Structure 1
Amino acid sequence: MDDATRASTGAAEPYRVLARKYRPQTFDDLIGQEAMVRTLSNAFETGRIHQAYMLTGVRGVGKTTTARILARGLNYEPDEGGGKPTIVMPRLGRHCQAIIESRHIDVLELDAASHNGVGDIRDITDSVRYAPVSARFKVLIMDEVHMVTNQAFNALLKTLEEPPPHVKFIFATTEIRKVPITILSRCQRFDLRRVDAGVLTGHLASICAREEVEVEPEALAMIARAAEGSVRDSLSLLDQAIAHAGGRVEAEGVRAMLGLADRARIIDLFEAVMRGDAAAALGELRAQYDQGADPAVVLSELAEFAHFVTRLKVTPEAGKDPAVTETERRRAAALVDSLSMKVLTRLWQMLLKGIGEVQTASKPLAAADMVLVRLCYAADLPTPDDLIRQLAEGGGPARTTGGGAAPPPPAGGGSPRAVLAATNAAPRPVLTEAAPATRPARALAGFAELVALATEKRDLPLKLALERFVRLVAFEDGRIDIALEAGAPATLVNDLSRKLSDWTERRWLVVISGERGAPTLREQAEARQAEVLTGVRADPLVRAVLERFPGAQIVDVRDNAPLPAPVVARAPDEVGDDGNDFDDADDYSSDDI
């Protein structure tokens, strides 16, 4: 008996919530899951019906409902008999009503939260051996399957992999990551998507028409956004809104019910932030807070509007979203041209961080105030590439040595781009200590001075490469002839020539010679250390100590660091072989004493 028949006969029934009353009963009733419906339709038509299905998705997208519809399609049998598994069910069959009401003897629904042990799984595996009583298949539906224990999952593996031909498994879960991969590999997985806000708005409008409830389109858009893609949540909120209104459902009543801010006032707040008007932004937030808006929700809606403006800037098609009101669409379009993508992305990042701060703060309103202050002051700041461009054009922000401050940003309205343009147009103080336009060319007297120049420029990779891999053949100002050790960087010659030209303001020629050349600086340092070591070991007292304590090593008392053989001492007036006062980490061992 349908609703119209019950109404005509005057049968009194308890009220059923909208989420249960309008639960889909066929695949045609499902919304937003076209990919899954198409896959199942093709599988049923070709007879490629899988033995187990895994349905996953967020709450309220229809996992359990889909499982029941799937069980009904597997066992669909018209009243006249015959038939086969199908997703096309124009009317109720022999088993349909019992399956819809969860009372069919061959369709077993289990809640894994209370049937998650090995004993429960053993009962299931024992029961599936018997043929169905009246239906075509024995179907086992297990909801929230991620709550089954690992031992119970292992007990189910064999039956799930090789079930009897008359058994089908349907699992549903919101935590797919908690399901073992051994279970997932034996199932055909379907990810049920969140329902788009526009589709959800249309669905709610059709239900309101059937319920003969007057509702404003903006109110439905608010409910669809608050549901976040969950059909069940949207129907529960609609039920609450109808009860709250007591008549016509209006946007103002839904806004008060959900603790939301006025969408137009959110845009006012957005514009105040973008023009850097901190006083107006704080006043608007306080006014919305006094009317019942949650500060975290206000910032979330501010971020949502920033996201919409960004999408609209990237693709104009975003303005056709039915979940967006005409006011939002019109005012966002006016902001698109005045806000750069860099400003919008910076705003988004700061809002994401600020929302988290507000949610965890002991005083959310104060935390939201500080977030808005940061946003207002950041709106006056140029982006890094704008700053570089200003410096390149000679109009960048200047500093004076006399402690003078830069001129304050201009007051008044306008977008960050307008504020930046006005700031650039303002007169700026001139640097009192300007670098000379040109520098005299620098001459190098020898290879050691070249290494010292690399140290001065803080180019540590080049310095180490010169010490370890370069053998000097000839050196004159403007030309270096070298030989390279094995393992030298492939780009060493080009890098050396380029950097020398940059550092000395003159052209240098670096030539690889076929001659052997002098030892590297590292080899020279090791040779000097070896000579010092030989002299120290020749001392009779030192020799006697080493003979008395086998395994002892000579330590440089200047830094108390042991020197492993063959290099175990350094001359007092020398530095480490990398040119620094610190020895290389690979020259020493923590086991040395």
Structure 2
Amino acid sequence: MEHFIVSARKYRPQTFKDVVGQQAITNTLENAIANDHLAQALLFCGPRGVGKTSCARILAKRINQDENTRLDEDFAFNIFELDAASNNSVDDIRNLIDQVRIPPQVGTYKVYIIDEVHMLSQAAFNAFLKTLEEPPKHAIFILATTEKHKIIPTILSRCQIFDFKRITVTDARKHLVQIAQEEGIEADEEALHIIAQKADGAMRDALSIFDRVVSFSGKTLSRKAVTENLNVLDYETYFTATSFILKNDIPQLLLQFNDILSRGFDGHHFIAGLASHFRDLMVCKNPPTIHLLEVGNETKKKYYEQSQKTEMPFLLKAIEMANSCDLTYKTSRNQRLLVELCLMQLASITYDGEKKNDTPFIIPPSFYKLSSESAQKVDRTLKATATIEKESPTVVQNQTQDKNTAPTTETVKQSAQSQPITQEQPTQIATQPITQTPKLENTVTTPQPNISISKERISGLSLKGLQRKKELEEKRKHQKVDVTNLPKEPFTEIAMQAVWKEYVARLSHRGEKIIASNLEADTPKLNGTVITLEYPNATMKVEVERAQGPLLEFLKRKLKNYDITLEIIVNEEVQRKYAYTPQEKYDKLKEQNPDLEILKRVFDLEL
């Protein structure tokens, strides 16, 4: 059996050109070597599997190469690697420092690569400081770490720092395509894209997943095989779910979610992926932003086609609902029910719960059909009433008002013709049953139907109905009030001060002592319709101005004058009027007559 070498080792970069996704760093190192401008202490930091150690090894080889060097020369005697995770003591660093003093036997530089340098102890860091700051000319230190924040600042200040970034999905997919071609494996672009996404920016993880999937499916990699092996939800799942949501097909949506759970997927993963899918659809609404999606060309076409079937308000609402479910998933006791409720709400965004008819409701003529005898009696009654109205309309009107009779059918018809129905203010025409009629021969009491014509009906059982009600309420709030007919009756200063005291008493009764005290600090004066107050400081003015809205409303309503305004003046010479307590009054009197204290003690008086 031939020994198998994993792809992460087999295709490890041997030159800077082979490093994936770190062009800025590799170009910088190449230029530094070419211009002899390389620092003696370098720090490579970044997430796992992005090429830190590989770049350190390539750099160690490059700085020792010259014109006479063979291509396969690895300079093993000049490169020393130390794993700080297991060699983190002071003695390990001291041994390293002792080796640094010895110059190289072959090549120009001795390179010391310390991996996971953040694992060194505090004492080891301190022992390493002097050597790191002033190393020998032949020594170069390359430190690599995934957690830069754990390295002490004195070490960071002595190193030239290179921040490695996560490898993008596109770069990882392109590298996997090259490896698949070298291995003779037929791989779908979508399958490799899913592997690159699963790797989460680490090339080493992407190669490990690639080996695993190849072992599962052989020389042919399909999207279905990759999703089945990696146990991930592919794009088709979310395309299907969105299609059910747009069709308001709640049963099929719940069945799909049940199938996802039966395959071992987590509901949290599904709802988070659905929110991301809605985000991708929103990005695809405009063709210039389609390139923001890190997917294949075929998948981009699917996203664009489905995005054209959706509207922007729907996508914004859907993202909000899915994100809210994502945030509350961990704290929910019934997590499956939470996701199912979210899916039902998503499917109800574009669903109108009722079939609405905007045309006015007309009562059919058959509703008014009476027997021939009753019809003749009603006809005679209407004719007699019309005759009386012609002869003395005033008497008939008075009799109708006194006896609370309902209007006749002719009157209803005339009023309906004289008042046209508009859409903004739908008119309701209703006839009540005739309770009493004038004393006429052959009268009959006929029930009249209630006719209510409404142009616009609003249901409270649907989302659109609730939205429409909210819009009407906002419209009513913003309607301009006609202020020309508001009362403007004259009033006196005494009346104003009485209403003022009444308002202050109300504030005191409600416990708002501070504003009540401020309003009592000065006696309001009247100048026309302007009420003037004087305060000794700006703080009292600000407090009263904040509370002047309810005060003015109370004064306008009580005095029946809506031209009243309030003017507050700051006058530092004005002394605030305080309400003295009994003890303060006694102290004041005692200052004027000290014998008052003797009188109190002799007769044992109390305040």
State the TM-score, normalized to the length of structure 2: 0.66
Secondary structure of the 1:142 match is strand
Pairs within 5 Å for 1:18-97 = 18-78=7-67, 80=68, 92=71, 94=73, 97=74
Is the Cα contact below 8 Å between 1:215 and 1:249 reproduced in 2? yes
Q: Compute the RMSD of aligned alpha carbons.
A: 4.8
Pairs within 5 Å for 1:263-342 = 263-273=235-245, 277-313=249-285, 316-319=288-291, 321=293, 323-324=295-296, 326-335=298-307, 338-340=310-312
The C-alpha deviation readout for 1:436-483, integer Å capped at 9, x for no partner, is 96796799834656767889999x899499469x76674557424344
Query: In structure 2, how many angstroms separate the alpha carbons of the residues matched to 1:314 and 1:128?
Result: 60
Is the Cα contact below 8 Å between 2:518 and 2:544 reproduced in 1? no
Query: In structure 1, how many angstroms separate the alpha carbons of the residues matched to 2:197 and 2:338?
Result: 25
Which position in structure 1 is the counterpart of 2:111? 139
The C-alpha deviation readout for 1:277-320, integer Å capped at 9, x for no partner, is 54333221112333454433323322331232243347733347
Change (3 A) 1:165 1:305: same
Which position in structure 1 is the counterpart of 2:164? 192
Shift of 1:231: 0.8
Shift of 1:351: 3.9
1:372 to 343, 355, 360: 343
Change (3 A) 1:223 1:164: same
2:230 to 226, 249, 258: 258
Query: In structure 1, how many angstroms separate the alpha carbons of the residues matched to 2:273 and 2:522?
Result: 66
Which position in structure 2 is the counterpart of 1:108? 80
Query: In structure 2, how many angstroms separate the alpha carbons of the residues matched to 1:473 and 1:422?
Result: 48
Change (3 A) 1:441 1:534: farther
Is the Cα contact below 8 Å between 1:282 and 1:369 reproduced in 2? yes
Shift of 1:344: 4.4
Q: Does 1:479 align with 2:451?
A: no
The C-alpha deviation readout for 1:371-428, integer Å capped at 9, x for no partner, is 53565567889xxxxxxxxxxx999xxxxxxxxx95222xxxxxxxxx7499649999
1:407 to 447, 460, 469: 460
Query: In structure 1, how many angstroms separate the alpha carbons of the residues matched to 2:176 and 2:533?
Result: 80
Query: In structure 1, how many angstroms separate the alpha carbons of the residues matched to 2:340 and 2:154?
Result: 51
The amino acid across from 2:46 in the alignment is G
Pairs within 5 Å for 1:97-496 = 97-98=74-75, 104-273=76-245, 277-313=249-285, 316-319=288-291, 321=293, 323-324=295-296, 326-335=298-307, 338-340=310-312, 344=315, 347-348=318-319, 350-352=321-323, 354-355=325-326, 365=336, 368-373=339-344, 375=346, 407-409=460-462, 420=464, 424=468, 445-446=496-497, 463=515, 466=518, 474-475=525-526, 478-486=529-537, 488=539
Q: Does 1:517 align with 2:568?
A: no
Secondary structure of the 2:32 match is helix
Pairs within 5 Å for 1:531-570 = 531=584, 534=587
Secondary structure of the 2:180 match is helix
Query: In structure 1, how many angstroms separate the alpha carbons of the residues matched to 2:571 and 2:91?
Result: 82
Change (3 A) 1:105 1:475: farther
Change (3 A) 1:488 1:227: same
Query: In structure 2, how many angstroms separate the alpha carbons of the residues matched to 1:363 and 1:249?
Result: 38
Answer with 241-250 or 69-78: which moved more.
69-78
**Structure ID, larger Rg:** 2
Which position in structure 1 is the counterpart of 2:361? none
Query: In structure 1, how many angstroms separate the alpha carbons of the residues matched to 2:245 and 2:251?
Result: 10
Answer with 357-366 or 14-23: which moved more.
357-366
Query: In structure 1, how many angstroms separate the alpha carbons of the residues matched to 2:240 and 2:599?
Result: 88
Is the Cα contact below 8 Å between 2:275 and 2:319 reproduced in 1? yes
Which position in structure 2 is the counterpart of 1:575? none
Is the Cα contact below 8 Å between 1:483 and 1:516 reproduced in 2? no
Query: In structure 1, how many angstroms separate the alpha carbons of the residues matched to 2:165 and 2:251?
Result: 42
**Percentage of identical aligned residues:** 29
The amino acid across from 2:184 in the alignment is E
Which position in structure 1 is the counterpart of 2:414? none
Is the Cα contact below 8 Å between 1:483 and 1:515 reproduced in 2? no
Secondary structure of the 1:407 match is coil
Query: In structure 2, how many angstroms separate the alpha carbons of the residues matched to 1:316 and 1:135?
Result: 53
Shift of 1:196: 1.3
The amino acid across from 2:201 in the alignment is G
Change (3 A) 1:496 1:147: same
Is the Cα contact below 8 Å between 2:56 and 2:142 reproduced in 1? yes
Query: In structure 2, how many angstroms separate the alpha carbons of the residues matched to 1:139 and 1:461?
Result: 79
Secondary structure of the 2:254 match is helix
Query: In structure 1, how many angstroms separate the alpha carbons of the residues matched to 2:469 and 2:329?
Result: 37
Is the Cα contact below 8 Å between 2:41 and 2:158 reproduced in 1? yes
Secondary structure of the 1:445 match is helix
Query: In structure 1, how many angstroms separate the alpha carbons of the residues matched to 2:341 and 2:268?
Result: 13
The amino acid across from 1:32 in the alignment is G
Secondary structure of the 1:219 match is helix
The amino acid across from 1:517 in the alignment is V
Query: In structure 2, how many angstroms separate the alpha carbons of the residues matched to 1:533 and 1:26?
Result: 99
Is the Cα contact below 8 Å between 2:283 and 2:292 reproduced in 1? no
Query: In structure 2, how many angstroms separate the alpha carbons of the residues matched to 1:498 and 1:430?
Result: 22
Structure 1 residues not aligned, in runs of 5+? 1-11, 82-90, 99-103, 382-392, 396-404, 410-418, 545-570, 572-593
The amino acid across from 1:237 in the alignment is I
The amino acid across from 1:107 in the alignment is I
Shift of 1:184: 1.5
Structure 2 residues not aligned, in runs of 5+? 353-422, 426-457, 557-561, 591-595
Shift of 1:534: 4.3
Change (3 A) 1:473 1:321: closer
Which position in structure 2 is the counterpart of 1:390? none
The amino acid across from 1:21 in the alignment is K
Query: In structure 2, how many angstroms separate the alpha carbons of the residues matched to 1:530 and 1:364?
Result: 67
Aligned residues: 482
The amino acid across from 2:62 in the alignment is G
